[in-house]
Amino acid sequence: MFKLLKKNMRFTFASLIILGILSLSYCDQNNSDTADSNTKNSNTAYIQKGKTIASATFATLSGNLQKAMKEGGVPNAIKYCNLNASPLVDSLSQVYKAEIRRTSLKVRNPKNKPTTKELQQLEKYQKSMEAGEALKPLVQEIIPGTIAFYAPIHVMPLCEKCHGKAGETLKEEDYQVIQQHYPEDKATGYASGDLRGMWSISFKK
Ligand code: HEC
Protein backbone atom coordinates (compact mmCIF):
# COMPACT_ATOMS: atom_id res chain seq x y z
CA MET A 1 0.00 0.00 0.00
CA PHE A 2 2.73 2.40 1.04
CA LYS A 3 4.76 1.36 -1.97
CA LEU A 4 1.84 2.14 -4.26
CA LEU A 5 1.39 5.54 -2.66
CA LYS A 6 5.05 6.29 -3.09
CA LYS A 7 4.86 5.28 -6.74
CA ASN A 8 1.84 7.49 -7.37
CA MET A 9 3.52 10.41 -5.68
CA ARG A 10 6.52 9.96 -7.88
CA PHE A 11 4.36 10.18 -10.99
CA THR A 12 2.44 13.18 -9.72
CA PHE A 13 5.75 14.84 -8.97
CA ALA A 14 7.08 13.99 -12.44
CA SER A 15 3.92 15.46 -14.00
CA LEU A 16 4.38 18.65 -12.00
CA ILE A 17 7.93 19.01 -13.26
CA ILE A 18 6.77 18.45 -16.83
CA LEU A 19 3.99 21.01 -16.38
CA GLY A 20 6.56 23.47 -15.10
CA ILE A 21 8.84 22.91 -18.08
CA LEU A 22 5.92 23.21 -20.48
CA SER A 23 4.70 26.46 -19.00
CA LEU A 24 8.22 27.85 -19.23
CA SER A 25 8.61 26.91 -22.84
CA TYR A 26 5.14 28.21 -23.64
CA CYS A 27 5.86 31.63 -22.17
CA ASP A 28 5.87 33.44 -25.49
CA GLN A 29 2.64 35.11 -26.41
CA ASN A 30 1.17 35.50 -29.85
CA ASN A 31 1.18 39.04 -31.24
CA SER A 32 -0.51 40.14 -34.36
CA ASP A 33 0.55 43.51 -35.78
CA THR A 34 -2.87 44.38 -37.09
CA ALA A 35 -4.96 43.16 -34.16
CA ASP A 36 -6.61 45.80 -31.98
CA SER A 37 -6.15 45.52 -28.25
CA ASN A 38 -9.49 43.77 -27.65
CA THR A 39 -8.66 41.02 -30.10
CA LYS A 40 -5.21 40.79 -28.55
CA ASN A 41 -6.68 40.33 -25.09
CA SER A 42 -9.05 37.62 -26.16
CA ASN A 43 -6.29 35.94 -28.17
CA THR A 44 -4.13 35.88 -25.06
CA ALA A 45 -6.97 34.25 -23.14
CA TYR A 46 -7.52 31.64 -25.87
CA ILE A 47 -3.78 30.92 -26.05
CA GLN A 48 -3.77 30.46 -22.29
CA LYS A 49 -6.71 28.08 -22.49
CA GLY A 50 -5.01 26.07 -25.24
CA LYS A 51 -1.78 25.85 -23.26
CA THR A 52 -3.64 24.65 -20.17
CA ILE A 53 -5.37 21.89 -22.13
CA ALA A 54 -2.16 20.87 -23.95
CA SER A 55 -0.14 20.75 -20.71
CA ALA A 56 -2.77 18.70 -18.89
CA THR A 57 -3.08 16.28 -21.82
CA PHE A 58 0.69 15.93 -22.13
CA ALA A 59 1.12 15.34 -18.39
CA THR A 60 -1.52 12.60 -18.50
CA LEU A 61 -0.04 10.90 -21.56
CA SER A 62 3.58 11.04 -20.52
CA GLY A 63 2.84 9.84 -16.97
CA ASN A 64 1.06 6.79 -18.35
CA LEU A 65 3.72 6.24 -21.03
CA GLN A 66 6.63 6.27 -18.60
CA LYS A 67 4.87 3.94 -16.19
CA ALA A 68 4.00 1.45 -18.96
CA MET A 69 7.54 1.60 -20.40
CA LYS A 70 9.00 0.79 -17.00
CA GLU A 71 6.60 -2.10 -16.53
CA GLY A 72 6.89 -3.73 -19.94
CA GLY A 73 8.95 -1.72 -22.43
CA VAL A 74 7.77 -0.32 -25.76
CA PRO A 75 5.34 -3.18 -26.69
CA ASN A 76 3.48 -2.58 -23.43
CA ALA A 77 3.46 1.22 -23.80
CA ILE A 78 2.30 1.58 -27.41
CA LYS A 79 -1.34 2.22 -26.60
CA TYR A 80 -0.46 5.07 -24.24
CA CYS A 81 0.53 7.46 -27.03
CA ASN A 82 -3.01 7.36 -28.39
CA LEU A 83 -5.08 10.32 -27.19
CA ASN A 84 -8.33 8.62 -28.12
CA ALA A 85 -7.58 5.57 -25.99
CA SER A 86 -7.19 7.62 -22.81
CA PRO A 87 -10.28 8.05 -20.60
CA LEU A 88 -8.46 10.90 -18.84
CA VAL A 89 -7.90 12.79 -22.09
CA ASP A 90 -11.53 12.12 -22.94
CA SER A 91 -12.65 13.72 -19.69
CA LEU A 92 -10.29 16.65 -20.28
CA SER A 93 -11.97 17.32 -23.61
CA GLN A 94 -15.37 17.18 -21.93
CA VAL A 95 -14.35 19.50 -19.11
CA TYR A 96 -12.93 22.07 -21.55
CA LYS A 97 -15.52 21.35 -24.27
CA ALA A 98 -12.62 21.05 -26.68
CA GLU A 99 -11.50 18.75 -29.46
CA ILE A 100 -7.94 17.70 -28.62
CA ARG A 101 -5.77 16.50 -31.49
CA ARG A 102 -2.12 16.06 -32.33
CA THR A 103 -0.98 15.98 -35.90
CA SER A 104 2.25 15.84 -37.88
CA LEU A 105 3.79 15.99 -41.35
CA LYS A 106 4.69 12.30 -40.79
CA VAL A 107 1.92 10.47 -38.93
CA ARG A 108 1.91 7.05 -37.32
CA ASN A 109 -1.88 6.75 -37.20
CA PRO A 110 -3.63 7.88 -40.44
CA LYS A 111 -6.42 9.27 -38.22
CA ASN A 112 -4.00 11.98 -37.11
CA LYS A 113 -3.36 13.21 -40.66
CA PRO A 114 -3.47 17.02 -40.89
CA THR A 115 -6.44 18.94 -42.30
CA THR A 116 -5.66 21.57 -44.96
CA LYS A 117 -5.44 24.32 -42.30
CA GLU A 118 -3.29 22.16 -40.01
CA LEU A 119 -0.99 21.29 -42.89
CA GLN A 120 -0.42 24.99 -43.62
CA GLN A 121 0.55 25.62 -40.01
CA LEU A 122 2.76 22.52 -39.81
CA GLU A 123 4.64 23.69 -42.89
CA LYS A 124 5.09 27.15 -41.36
CA TYR A 125 6.47 25.61 -38.16
CA GLN A 126 8.80 23.38 -40.17
CA LYS A 127 10.14 26.37 -42.13
CA SER A 128 10.65 28.42 -38.96
CA MET A 129 12.42 25.48 -37.38
CA GLU A 130 14.78 25.19 -40.34
CA ALA A 131 15.41 28.95 -40.18
CA GLY A 132 16.35 28.58 -36.52
CA GLU A 133 13.42 30.71 -35.30
CA ALA A 134 11.47 30.12 -32.08
CA LEU A 135 8.14 28.36 -32.67
CA LYS A 136 5.24 29.97 -30.86
CA PRO A 137 1.77 28.77 -29.97
CA LEU A 138 -0.97 30.69 -31.80
CA VAL A 139 -4.73 30.83 -32.25
CA GLN A 140 -6.90 31.13 -35.36
CA GLU A 141 -10.64 31.43 -35.86
CA ILE A 142 -10.97 28.45 -38.22
CA ILE A 143 -14.71 28.76 -38.71
CA PRO A 144 -16.85 31.58 -37.33
CA GLY A 145 -17.17 31.05 -33.59
CA THR A 146 -14.56 28.27 -33.38
CA ILE A 147 -11.00 28.87 -32.23
CA ALA A 148 -8.13 26.56 -33.06
CA PHE A 149 -5.03 26.58 -30.85
CA TYR A 150 -1.80 25.33 -32.41
CA ALA A 151 1.49 24.68 -30.60
CA PRO A 152 4.65 22.86 -31.67
CA ILE A 153 5.56 19.44 -30.24
CA HIS A 154 9.26 18.68 -29.97
CA VAL A 155 10.99 15.33 -29.58
CA MET A 156 12.47 14.49 -26.20
CA PRO A 157 14.83 11.59 -25.44
CA LEU A 158 11.93 9.41 -24.20
CA CYS A 159 10.12 9.77 -27.55
CA GLU A 160 13.08 8.37 -29.51
CA LYS A 161 12.32 4.89 -28.17
CA CYS A 162 9.26 4.85 -30.44
CA HIS A 163 9.89 7.66 -32.96
CA GLY A 164 13.68 7.47 -33.28
CA LYS A 165 15.90 5.99 -35.97
CA ALA A 166 15.05 2.32 -36.61
CA GLY A 167 17.90 0.02 -35.64
CA GLU A 168 19.48 2.82 -33.60
CA THR A 169 17.49 4.77 -31.00
CA LEU A 170 14.38 2.77 -31.95
CA LYS A 171 15.16 -0.92 -31.44
CA GLU A 172 14.50 -3.16 -34.44
CA GLU A 173 12.25 -5.55 -32.46
CA ASP A 174 10.21 -2.63 -31.08
CA TYR A 175 9.87 -1.17 -34.56
CA GLN A 176 8.41 -4.47 -35.77
CA VAL A 177 5.76 -4.40 -33.05
CA ILE A 178 4.90 -0.79 -33.95
CA GLN A 179 4.56 -1.71 -37.62
CA GLN A 180 2.23 -4.58 -36.77
CA HIS A 181 -0.12 -2.08 -35.09
CA TYR A 182 0.49 0.76 -37.54
CA PRO A 183 1.33 -0.63 -41.00
CA GLU A 184 1.28 2.90 -42.50
CA ASP A 185 3.66 4.33 -39.89
CA LYS A 186 5.76 7.28 -41.08
CA ALA A 187 6.63 8.68 -37.65
CA THR A 188 10.22 7.48 -37.24
CA GLY A 189 13.68 8.89 -37.86
CA TYR A 190 13.41 11.67 -35.27
CA ALA A 191 16.09 12.88 -32.90
CA SER A 192 15.74 14.79 -29.67
CA GLY A 193 14.94 18.47 -30.36
CA ASP A 194 13.29 17.79 -33.75
CA LEU A 195 9.82 19.10 -34.53
CA ARG A 196 7.58 16.06 -34.16
CA GLY A 197 4.27 17.75 -34.91
CA MET A 198 1.79 20.06 -33.26
CA TRP A 199 -1.18 20.30 -30.95
CA SER A 200 -4.44 21.22 -32.63
CA ILE A 201 -7.04 22.02 -30.00
CA SER A 202 -10.33 23.60 -30.97
CA PHE A 203 -13.10 25.07 -28.87
CA LYS A 204 -15.98 27.56 -29.17
CA LYS A 205 -15.30 31.28 -28.61
C1 HEC B 1 5.80 3.57 -26.42
C2 HEC B 1 5.96 4.15 -27.71
C3 HEC B 1 5.83 5.65 -27.87
C4 HEC B 1 6.50 6.62 -27.19
C5 HEC B 1 7.53 6.48 -26.08
C6 HEC B 1 6.07 7.88 -27.77
N7 HEC B 1 5.16 7.67 -28.76
FE8 HEC B 1 4.23 9.07 -29.89
N9 HEC B 1 3.12 7.67 -30.79
C10 HEC B 1 3.19 6.30 -30.51
C11 HEC B 1 2.06 5.65 -31.14
C12 HEC B 1 1.77 4.18 -31.09
C13 HEC B 1 1.32 6.67 -31.81
C14 HEC B 1 0.03 6.50 -32.59
C15 HEC B 1 -1.12 6.85 -31.63
C16 HEC B 1 -2.48 6.81 -32.24
O17 HEC B 1 -2.94 5.71 -32.60
O18 HEC B 1 -3.11 7.88 -32.33
C19 HEC B 1 2.01 7.91 -31.55
C20 HEC B 1 1.57 9.12 -32.04
C21 HEC B 1 2.16 10.32 -31.76
C22 HEC B 1 1.71 11.61 -32.29
C23 HEC B 1 0.49 11.87 -33.15
C24 HEC B 1 0.77 11.90 -34.62
C25 HEC B 1 1.01 10.55 -35.26
O26 HEC B 1 2.16 10.31 -35.63
O27 HEC B 1 0.08 9.74 -35.38
C28 HEC B 1 2.58 12.54 -31.80
C29 HEC B 1 2.56 14.03 -32.08
C30 HEC B 1 3.52 11.83 -30.96
N31 HEC B 1 3.26 10.50 -30.96
C32 HEC B 1 4.54 12.46 -30.26
C33 HEC B 1 5.31 11.82 -29.28
C34 HEC B 1 6.21 12.53 -28.39
C35 HEC B 1 6.47 14.02 -28.41
C36 HEC B 1 6.74 11.59 -27.55
C37 HEC B 1 7.67 11.82 -26.39
C38 HEC B 1 7.18 12.69 -25.33
C39 HEC B 1 6.18 10.30 -27.95
N40 HEC B 1 5.31 10.49 -29.00
C41 HEC B 1 6.53 9.12 -27.35
C42 HEC B 1 4.14 5.67 -29.74
C43 HEC B 1 4.98 6.31 -28.85
Could you give the CA distance from residue 175 to residue 160 in angstroms, rounded to a whole number? 11
pLDDT in tens, 27-40: 344 444 555 677 77
- pLDDT at residue 19, as a whole number: 42
Query: With bands split at pLDDT 50, 70 and 90, how would you rate the model's confidence at 13?
Result: very low
Which atom of ligand 1 is nearest the CA belonging to 78? 1
DSSP letter assigned to residue 183:
T
User: Residue 126: is it exposed, middle or buried by C-beta count within 10 angstroms (0-12/13-18/19+)?
Assistant: middle
- CB contact at 8 A, 188 and 159: no
Q: Give residue ranges with CB within 6 A of ligand 1.
A: 62, 65, 74, 77-78, 81-82, 102-104, 107-109, 112, 153, 155-156, 158-159, 161-163, 187, 196-197
Q: What is the pLDDT of residues 127-145, one digit of tens each?
A: 999 999 999 999 999 999 9
Distance 127 CA to ligand 1 centre (A): 22
In this structure, which residue's CA is closest to atom 39 in ligand 1? Answer: 159
- Atom 8 of ligand 1, nearest CA residue: 81
pTM of the model: 0.84
What pLDDT does 127 receive?
97
**pLDDT per residue over 148-188, tens digit each?**
999 999 999 999 999 999 999 999 999 999 999 999 999 99
Residues 6+ apart with CB under 8 A from 25: none
Centre of ligand 1 from the C-alpha of residue 81, in Å:
5
**How remote is the CA of residue 123 from the centroid of ligand 1, in Å?**
19
pLDDT digits (tens, 9 = 90+) for 21-73: 444 344 344 444 555 677 777 899 999 999 999 999 999 999 999 999 999 99
